[in-house]
């Protein structure tokens, strides 16, 4: 009796568009080796692309959605580990250490508590100097906000009043409270930005 091949997980069109520009940034900010935690991994398009391009890093995907984790479990092995059930807003995570973290397109499609929890978790699990990389749209004081992002923000808030394109100053303030300092702000395609935060060593 013939055996059916494994079902491939679906592909995110947005991830296909932005994965190469993001990878170009990750190559410059991530450690050469170690374990990387990706939050809200979705269907795993980013995980496969980045893990393949950065084979010395071990990629740990995660998602709050059981359906997403089921899809993530179908990803090829190698340097991609089994997905974690991770709600970043919770005070306890199912992982105690990572050398770097990546969170793509999350903080605007989640309650503000998720942004707070993301940085609190990064503080707990990253080493001093460890990187938390964020990608997505942001409102930056002193810069015109793209009309598309204004419409996107209205659409998000219409779907859920706890969602919305975040103000960079507010994100930086949450980061600082968690001992994380933004070291880079990089313009990306389609009115998005790359944000790089690093964990600061405790004051003597």
| pLDDT per residue of the chain (204 residues) written in tens, 0 to 9 | 333 333 444 567 778 889 999 999 999 999 999 999 999 999 999 999 999 999 999 999 999 999 999 999 999 889 999 999 999 999 999 999 999 999 999 999 999 999 999 999 999 999 999 999 999 999 998 888 899 999 999 999 999 999 999 999 999 999 999 999 999 999 999 999 999 999 998 875
Asked whether 199 and 125 are in contact (CB, 8 A), the reply is no
Backbone angles phi, psi at 155, to 5 degrees: -65, -45
In angstroms, the CA 161 to CA 155 distance is 10
Helix axis angle, 112-125 relative to 168-177, nearest 10°?
Answer: 40
Of 92, 38, 78, 87, residue with least CA distance to 61: 38
Measuring CA to CA, which residue among 11, 115, 34, 126 is closest to residue 81?
Answer: 34
Non-local (6+) Cβ contacts of 43 within 8 A are 9, 10, 11, 12, 15, 68, 71, 72
Report how far residue 80's alpha carbon sits from residue 61's, in angstroms, rounded to the nearest whole number: 7
Cβ pair 125, 100 in contact under 8 A: no
Residues 183/200, Cβ–Cβ less than 8 Å:
no
Domain locations in the chain?
13-199
Q: Can you give the pTM of this predicted structure?
A: 0.92
Assess if CATH 3.40.50.150 describes domain 13-199: yes
Kindly compute the dihedral angle of the four CA atoms of residues 20, 135, 39, 42, in this order, to the nearest 10 degrees. -60
């Amino acid at each position: 009796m013939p055996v059916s091949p494994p079902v491939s997980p679906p592909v995110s069109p947005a991830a296909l568009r932005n994965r190469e520009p993001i990878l170009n940034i990750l190559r410059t900010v991530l450690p050469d080796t170690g374990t990387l935690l990706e939050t809200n991994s979705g269907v795993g398009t980013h995980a496969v692309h980045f893990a393949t391009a950065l084979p010395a890093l071990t990629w740990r995907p995660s998602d709050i959605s059981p359906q997403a984790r089921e899809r993530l479990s179908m990803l090829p092995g190698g340097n991609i580990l089994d997905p974690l059930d991770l709600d970043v807003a919770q005070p306890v995570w199912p992982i105690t250490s990572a050398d770097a973290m990546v969170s793509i397109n999350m903080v605007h499609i989640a309650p503000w508590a998720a942004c707070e929890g993301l940085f609190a978790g990064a503080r707990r699990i990253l080493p001093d100097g460890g990187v938390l990389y964020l990608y997505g749209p942001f409102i930056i004081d002193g810069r015109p906000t793209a009309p598309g992002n204004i419409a996107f923000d209205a659409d998000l808030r219409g779907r859920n009043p706890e969602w919305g394109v975040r103000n960079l100053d507010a994100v930086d303030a949450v980061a600082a409270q968690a001992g994380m300092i933004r070291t880079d702000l990089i313009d990306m395609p389609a009115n998005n930005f790359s944000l790089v935060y690093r964990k600061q060593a405790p004051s003597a």
